[in-house]
Amino acid sequence: MDKKIIIREYKKKDLKQVLKLVKELETELENKFTDVKLKSGVDDYKNRYLKPENKYRTFVAVVDDKIVGFLMGYPSLGAPEVDNMYDVLPVLSDWTTPEFYLQITFVSKPYRNQGISTKLHEKVIDYAREKGHKEVYACIAKWNLPEIKVIESVQFQKKDLGYRYRLSLKL
């Protein structure tokens, strides 16, 4: 890619562009899984995930002032099922959760295979290391081969969980 890629933390002014990417993701999933009726998550992103006061941390990829991808994650106690029961971790300010969970990554189709997803992952790994997390992990469906390839390229180790993989990187 000849254009400069900037990876940075999400800002409130990015909301409209990130929601556009969420809609693109949903359309792509609807086309891939035609027998499944998907519920839109746009409102969840707008009212929950992208609110500055919660646990979620989002990083965006910017090319020519346009957001072309994002990666969202959060401090984790090690089990997404437990972490999803609340949005704000009830912990002391001087305590860091042991893990950082990568919830979702998406890059707009015209910008794929140009290293953007890898750069997003590298930025989040650096962020997690700086915050004192001991591990970064993701649980990825086995059909999501592009994401598995990217996350393995940044040295995550893969464990088979049946219908998905847990990919982990010790920091």
Q: What is the mean pLDDT of residues 31-38?
A: 84
Q: What is the mean pLDDT of residues 34-53?
A: 87
pLDDT at 147 (0 to 100): 93
Percentage of the residues of the chain whose pLDDT score is greater than 70: 88
**What domains can you pick out in the chain, each with its CATH number?**
5-170 (3.40.630.30)
Ramachandran category for residue 133: left, alpha or beta (phi over 0 → left; psi -120 to 50 → alpha): beta
pLDDT at 86 (0 to 100): 53
pLDDT: which is higher, 34 or 89: 34
**Whole-model pTM?**
0.89
